[in-house]
Chain A
Amino acid sequence: MNAILNFFKPKRGVHPTEHKAESTQLPITKLPLPPALVLPLRQHIGHLPKVLVQEGDYVLKGQLLAEAEGAVSAAIHAPTSGTVSAIAEATIPHPSGLPDICITLIPDGKDVWVERKPQDWQHADKHALVASLRNSGIVGLGGATFPTHIKLRADSASNIHTLIINAAECEPYITCDDMLMREHADEIVQGIVIAQHLLGAQRSIIGIEDNKPQAIVAMQAATAGKHITIVIVPTQYPSGDARQLIRLVANIEIPHNKRATQLGVQVFNVATVRALYRFFCLGEPAINRVVTVTGNVQDPQNFEVLFGTPLPVLLKAAGGEKPNTTHFIMGGPMMGFDLPSHDVPITKAANCIIASSPALFAPPPPAMPCIRCARCADACPIQLQPQELYWFSKSDNFEKARDYNLFDCIECGVCSYVCPSSIPLVQYYRYAKSEIIAQDKAKEAADLARERNEFRLARIEREKQERAQKHAERALGSKLDGAKAEATKAEPEKNEAVTPEASSEDAAKLAKQAAIAAAVDRAKAAKLASQQAGNAPKNVAPTNPAVQQEIAEIDARRKSVGLEKTADVSSNIDAEKQAKIAAAIERAKAMKAAKEAEKLEKND
């Protein structure tokens, strides 16, 4: 009966072949020291940390190499003792494939620790503990890499009641959290206790997918006697998405415009809480993580890897890649990305490396038109209408795409996974999102420029009136003096009665004359200015002379600082910012052009 009922229930998410067994046959292996470690400064979301060392410096294991700078940032530590050989750009594991600043460390092989300072977290001041976390280097190890000290910051506004530990690990192939729970459940549980203490949360819930029975047993044993609940959730991708998991284990649906913390829920990955334990109880900063190496390699397994370890070292430890390997994927097959080269370092975000081959991940067949079968809509965990979003994104109808909640899309890839027409739906959404963001930025800049221009025009108008007023007053003043003298001479008694009348009449006349004179002056000045500028636009209706003068002045100023005259008002905004926006738009356009070219190619 249940089977029949389930048939009619909409099935959110998908259940791809797990491929987890391959990499769980061997225990987590500690990788030997590589010949060099390359540590990108950008291993987290937020600002780049400030480098504290110089080339040639000798550093100890766990020593701070770069400290968090700005509100959202994370520190970088030396994963072992050795010498800083370079601080230069190198390829980092990022979808953009762009190089970024990295610190290269040559290990001395001694692996000497700095002085480690475990903390009495049960009794120490919470604020001091969280403050110390700022330079722990710990970030979300589930892949989001958000600095952890910010998530634990216990300000008065936050009122976290529930701590959720994400152990779902819903992506196929990835097993690092599974293996970590099997082997280090105690450390994870102690980390949970610490996190709960720091947050002041009333309860902790661990969400684990039911395809990890050994991990569940280990966690149950480790949590015995503690007030920690384990909720076993069905294996259904993407249950590991934070909002999905919160709904699954705590039955709380986080509104789209709120953060989980606003509803009193905080989520941490299992590896992150373990790092918390090691930081507070052992005094170790974040210098390593567990990485799954799987796919087209000889011996798929999990390794404990120092950050900065070059990928080839890791691959060699996994028996090397099989011959028909084409490239490497970082992350899982649903949301991962192609590594720009195989010579990249392992970073804090690297939960899984998959060697890819055509046999493993066949290139998708050419996309067919959407037949509106709505399989994507049935599978979308956010209950979006992917087929409508696709239609809007494809036709550049971005406003509609936004109306249909494009920005709620978590890019989990479920829609593409179930699409009979093999449409790369997520790519369309990424494109539409980047385009909308670029447009918003441009619009913001234009609005700002328009506002400034309006303000400027108002100011000019005000100044003009003030000038006319002054002229009038001055002229009236001199005339009045003369009139007064005459009147005193002729008829002293009448003077007081006549003067106000005469003066008001005269004043009006004079003011008018003064205004005319001022206007003529301005016109002359404007003419002069435009002649100087030499390139007065001809098809523009003659504006207020004062405005023209102002424009001429601005042009002159601009020339003096080396900026050419531009026609539109947005030239007021910071040139650098504009250049950035232009670059962003160009990128989006290039993406679109590439996509169109691809489409054409397919149609041929």
Chain B
Amino acid sequence: MNRSPYITNAPSVSTIMLKVLLALVPGIFAYVWIYGGGILVTITLATVTALLAEALLLKIRQRPVKPYLMDLSAVVTAWLLALALPPLAPWWLIVVGTLFAIVIAKQLYGGLGYNPFNPAMVGYAVLLISFPLIMTKWPAPLLLAQTKLSFLDQLNFIFSNILPNDVKVDAITSATPLDYLKTQLKLNHEVAAIAQAPIFGTFGAKGGELVTGAYLLGGLYLIQQRIISWHLPTAFLAAIAAISLVFYAINPAHFANPMFHLVGGASLLAAFFIITDPVSGPTTPRGKLYFAAGAGVLTYLIRVYGGYPDGVAFAVLIMNMCVPLIDALTQPRVFGHEK
């Protein structure tokens, strides 16, 4: 019988997913540091929901439950969604988003390996469209908040929407810099003046910069481990930098500088963790460059001209739609063939 090769040397799917989770840990630490322990509650809630939903759907679809739960892909989806949501979002928002990501976007399309769209981004987009008010209300970083909520206060707020006595919701939330920039620009303020607001840090959001830096660290680890290819983050960030530079060069008063767009919003989380989802992304090296560059340009355009403060989710979903075309058009030259 011919069943060679007899030897393999590959990390399992579980190992790959585990390394992705590991790479997110620095970002989560930074998150806790900046926004408090509430994010841990959100992540736990999303993880439990994702695993339960995955197990139930596998059971219904008559697939083996254990190997598919062990592959940890549902956990990665849960963590990414949780990190994309506002840290003090109510529990039901997280549950609804996670259910949508796992049940609709993943399992109903055939489970692991078959989802044409990034599940976490589907969940996020559904929430953003359905509950725009909650989705754009981010808590202020602890160092800026007028009132600092303890971990238990945050836990209580997530599950019961109750704040401690004499604390107002406005006191703990603030607009994100991207959001703030957008609304202030509509009021004909100039970028330089807007950036003087306390929520702005050196490059992006005050405090948020730290989280972003931690994502970068995790992302570099993933590249070094060859879990993700360098093509995707490089092209994505280069595209954002390039298009924002063009606009900034034309009118610096009306358009934020490239650094702000690179560090602000979900740029780095997307660059290393979201657009790098292999299942819903392209497979050819050139295709990866086009896909990521497209996602970068769309992210910028939606930020600047779209109705939502950040454009990552929609940009990724739109590019997901283009993946079959991108793959078909970017087939590499086969050995011994003309181009």
Interface string of A7-21 (1 = CB under 8 A from B): 010100010110000
Q: Does A482 contact B (CB under 8 A)?
A: no
In the complex, which residues of chain B have a beta carbon less than 8 angstroms from the beta carbon of A255?
336-338
Verify if A107 is at the interface (C-beta below 8 Å from B): no
Q: Which residues of A contact B73 (CB under 8 A)?
A: 371
B283 lies within 8 A of A337 (CB):
no
Q: Are B230 and A8 in contact (CB-based, < 8 A)?
A: yes
Complex interface bits, A252-276 against B, C-beta within 8 A gives 1, otherwise 0: 0111110000000000000000000
Within 8 A of A (CB), among B1-42: 1-13, 15-16
A114 to chain B, nearest CB (A): 38
Q: Is A6 an interface residue (CB 8 A)?
A: no
CB of A243 within 8 A of CB of B6, answer no
B230 neighbours in A (Cβ, 8 Å): 8
Q: Compute how far the CA of A373 lies from the CA of B279 in the bound complex, rounded to whole angstroms.
A: 7
A254 to B2, alpha carbons, bound, how many Å? 28
Most A CB contacts (10 A, CB to CB) among B1, B279, B284, B333 go to B1
The answer to whether B198 has its CB under 8 Å from any CB of chain A is no
Contact present for B335 and A385 (CB under 8 Å): no
Interfacial chain B residues near A366, Cβ < 8 Å: 67
Query: Are B6 and A369 in touch, CB under 8 angstroms?
Result: no
Distance between A357 CB and nearest chain B CB, rounded to angstroms = 11
Q: Check if A375 sits within 8 Å of B10, measured CB to CB.
A: yes
- Are A335 and B4 in contact, with the CB atoms below 8 A? yes
Decide: A10 near B13, CB < 8 A? Known: A334-B4, A364-B8.
no
Residues of B contacting A371 with CB < 8 Å? 13, 16, 73, 112-113, 278-279
Q: Mark B206-243, 1 if CB is under 8 A from A, else 0.
A: 00000000000000000000000110000000000000
Q: Which residues of A contact B112 (CB under 8 A)?
A: 368-369, 371
A388 and B283 in contact (CB under 8 A), knowing A333-B7, A383-B333, A419-B10? yes
How many whole Å from A338's CB to the nearest CB in chain B? 5
A336 at interface, CB cutoff 8 A = yes
Interface set, chain A 414-463, CB cutoff 8 A to B: 416-422, 424, 426-427, 430
User: Are B337 and A424 touching (Cβ within 8 A)?
Assistant: no
Using Cβ atoms and an 8 Å threshold, which residues of chain B touch A16? Answer: 7, 9
* B337 adjacent to A420 (CB under 8 Å): no
Contact B111 A361 (CB under 8 A): no
Q: Per-residue CB proximity of B272-289 to A under 8 Å, as 1/0?
A: 000000110101110000
Q: A256-B336, A369-B113, A420-B12 are in contact. Are A374 and B5 (CB under 8 A)?
A: no
Q: A356-B6, A420-B10 are in contact. Are A373 and B16 (CB under 8 A)?
A: yes
B12 with A365: CB separation less than 8 A: yes
Q: Is A501 in the interface zone, CB < 8 Å from B?
A: no
**Is A314 interfacial (CB-CB < 8 Å)?**
no
- Say if the beta carbon of A408 comes within 8 Å of chain B: yes
CA distance A163 to B333 in the complex (A): 27
B193 interfacial contact with A, CB 8 Å: no
A383 to B334, Cβ gap below 8 A?
Answer: yes
Docked-complex contact A416 and B8, CB < 8 angstroms: yes
Give min CB distance, B223 to chain A, whole Å.
Answer: 9
A417 contacts B337, CB within 8 Å? no
- B114 interface residue, CB < 8 Å from A? yes
List, in ascending order, chain B residues with CB within 8 A of A382's CB: 334-336
Complex Cα–Cα for A10 and B1 (A):
33
**Smallest Cβ distance from A382 to chain B, in angstroms?**
4
Query: Looking across the interface, which residue of chain B has its beta carbon closest to that of A332?
Result: B4
Interface string of A344-379 (1 = CB under 8 A from B): 000000000000100001001110111111110110
Instruction: List residues of chain A with CB within 8 A of the CB of B4.
Output: 329, 331, 333-337, 413, 426
Q: Which residues of B contact A419 (CB under 8 A)?
A: 8, 10
> What is the bound-complex CA distance between A439 and B334, given in angstroms?
25
| B63 is an interface residue with CB less than 8 A from chain A | yes
Whether A256 touches B63, Cβ cut-off 8 Å, given contacts A369-B113, A369-B114, is: no
CB-defined contacts of B307 to chain A, threshold 8 Å: none
Please report the C-alpha to C-alpha distance between residue A256 and residue B334 in the assembled complex, in whole angstroms: 9
User: How distant is the Cα of A213 from the Cα of B171 in the complex, in angstroms?
Assistant: 73
CA distance A387 to B7 in the complex (A): 19
Q: Please state if B7 and A253 are interface contacts (CB–CB under 8 Å).
A: no
The residues of B that contact A101 with a CB separation of less than 8 Å are: none
Residues of B within 8 A of A417 (CB): 5, 7-10
Whole-angstrom CA separation of A371 from B72 in the bound complex: 13
A387–B283 touching, CB < 8 Å: yes
Taking the closest CB of chain A, its distance from the CB of B237, in whole angstroms, is 16
Shortest CB distance B23–A (Å): 15
Does B190 make an interface contact (CB < 8 A)? no
Q: B164: CB under 8 A from chain A? A: no
Within 8 A of A (CB), among B81-136: 111-114
Q: Min CB distance, B215 to chain A, in Å?
A: 21
Do residues B335 and A381 form an inter-chain contact, with CB atoms below 8 A? yes
Please give, as numbers and ranges, the residues of chain B lying within 8 Å of A253 by CB-CB distance.
335-336
In Å, the complex CA distance between A372 and B287 comes to: 13
Task: Give the docked Cα–Cα distance between A172 and B9 (Å).
Answer: 13
Closest to B8 in A: A417
Instruction: Report chain B residues within 8 Å CB of A430.
Output: 2
Across the interface, which residues of A come within 8 angstroms of B5, CB to CB? 333-335, 413, 416-417, 426
| CB-based contact B281/A377 at 8 Å | no
Q: A405–B337 contact, CB under 8 A?
A: yes
Q: Is A535 an interface position by the 8 A CB rule?
A: no
Q: How far is the CA of A104 from the CA of B12 in the complex (A)?
A: 49
CA distance A388 to B278 in the complex (A): 14
Binary CB contact string for chain A from 581 to 604 against chain B (1 if under 8 A, 0 otherwise): 000000000000000000000111
| Complex Cα–Cα for A369 and B68 (A) | 10
Q: A329 CA to B3 CA in the complex, in Å?
A: 10
Is A500 positioned at the interface, with any CB of B under 8 Å from its CB? Answer: no
At the interface, yes or no: B332 with Cβ under 8 Å from chain A?
yes
Is A95 engaged at the interface, CB distance under 8 Å to the other chain? yes
Question: Which chain A residues border B337 with CB–CB below 8 Å?
Answer: 255-256, 405, 408
Bound CA span A434–B298, Å:
45
Instruction: Given A374-B284, A375-B10, output 9 extra A-B contacts at Cβ < 8 Å.
Output: A17-B9, A95-B1, A257-B336, A368-B13, A381-B335, A385-B332, A404-B331, A405-B337, A424-B3
Ranked 5 nearest A-B pairs via Cβ: A369-B113, A413-B5, A256-B336, A374-B283, A361-B6
Interface residues of A (CB under 8 A from B): 8, 10, 14, 16-17, 95, 97, 172, 243, 247, 253-257, 329, 331, 333-338, 340, 356, 361, 364-366, 368-375, 377-378, 381-385, 387-388, 404-405, 408, 413, 416-422, 424, 426-427, 430, 602-604
14 contacts between A and B (CB under 8 A): A10-B285, A257-B336, A338-B2, A361-B6, A373-B278, A374-B284, A381-B335, A383-B333, A413-B4, A417-B7, A419-B10, A420-B10, A421-B13, A427-B2
- Which residues of B does A touch, CB under 8 Å? 1-13, 15-16, 62-64, 67, 71, 73, 111-114, 229-230, 278-279, 281, 283-285, 327, 331-338
